[in-house]
Structure 1
């Protein structure tokens, strides 16, 4: 048994050494002129904002950046590809995409160098001033009379008796007037419930719940038409509600 124990110990030590060798250490060679850059207030409508971080190689050996990472896809990078000689300078360009990200942001960026053997960190921060996107970007279906919604089919899938399923339905009033929004169900299917907002102000956008509460067994697939009603007028295009029995 002793040779086996010895072998396990050796393997453990080798594995520990391997993990240690793979763990990067903080770079003493790469010195950035600034660690944090504040974009201040940026406008979402203006698109991507960028800043170039410059650094100096304070060591006696060449260094090179091989990767730059961040935890958010909203941050993109470019960096100097050639090795930076001793006392030479390099750069990292950080670009932030503010699309659909209103308000304050702070992003940490990890700069890996010399085949991931070393790392350092920089940050960008700022505040995004949002703008109102065109309604069709998030609400694909124009139902008429100013009403847009993001769905035209509500597929609840398989539903069994006494089971309740809910789908969130987004709506927008793209007109310059307030509207009254309700819904009418064709065929009187009482299992469909919707939290109709009723009064929707001009340019207002919101979200409601549509719930299917199955009170009796369904046979096969059941399709129900639900018509939006704007200012007491049923619109021409219905929502299709689909549920399937088990």
Structure 2
């Protein structure tokens, strides 16, 4: 099993593990890439809302990480995260985002039994002025 970690600047680390490949796509570990929305409507800003992963080998566990930062004037509660498929699991580091703080949303997908182009979407429900946000991971399963 290989472990490949992609940081937004695309650096790669691989090591041998067990019987499945693990592929990580992480959007901006640093929050410097997140700029405050000048309209003031979006309390939450994302490091990215779309991770394009390219070609992924079958039998790989994919993890995509999205950084969400609260630029608003009050804490934001994450009501729920709703992936578009039961094949996609998720974790959030906290179920609320304090003002000027951030959380990480991780989406997980096991490519076993799937082939071809994939577009995974998750909707994030919040109690902010904009109630719903969408993030996506796109990739192609090969071999």
Is 1:42 the counterpart of 2:56? The answer is yes
SS of 2:76 mapped into structure 1: coil
Root-mean-square deviation over aligned CA pairs: 1.9
8 Å CA contact 2:79, 2:95 repeated in 1? no
**Equivalent-residue separation in structure 1 for 2:84 and 2:97 (angstroms):** 26
In the alignment, which residue of structure 2 is the partner of 1:101?
A: 114
Bigger CA radius of gyration: 1
Please state how far the C-alpha of 1:114 moved relative to its aligned partner: 2.9
Q: Which TM-score applies when normalising by structure 1? A: 0.39
In the alignment, which residue of structure 2 is the partner of 1:209?
A: none
SS of 1:121 mapped into structure 2: strand
| Count of matched residue pairs | 102
- Structure 1 runs of 4+ with >6 Å offset: none
Please state how far the C-alpha of 1:81 moved relative to its aligned partner: 2.1
In the alignment, which residue of structure 1 is the partner of 2:4?
A: none
In the alignment, which residue of structure 1 is the partner of 2:104?
A: 91
SS of 1:64 mapped into structure 2: strand
**Equivalent-residue separation in structure 2 for 1:82 and 1:96 (angstroms):** 21
8 Å CA contact 1:65, 1:80 repeated in 2? no
Query: Over residues 194-228 of structure 1, what are the superposed CA-to-partner deviations in whole Å (9 max), with x where a residue is unaligned?
Result: xxxxxxxxxxxxxxxxxxxxxxxxxxxxxxxxxxx
Looking at both structures, which has the greater relative contact order when contacts are Cα pairs under 8 Å and sequence separation is at least 6?
2
Q: Which TM-score applies when normalising by structure 2? A: 0.65
**Equivalent-residue separation in structure 2 for 1:32 and 1:119 (angstroms):** 13
Is 1:55 the counterpart of 2:68? The answer is yes
**Unmatched 5+ residue regions in structure 2?**
1-40
**Unmatched 5+ residue regions in structure 1?**
1-26, 131-246
Structure with the larger helix share: 1
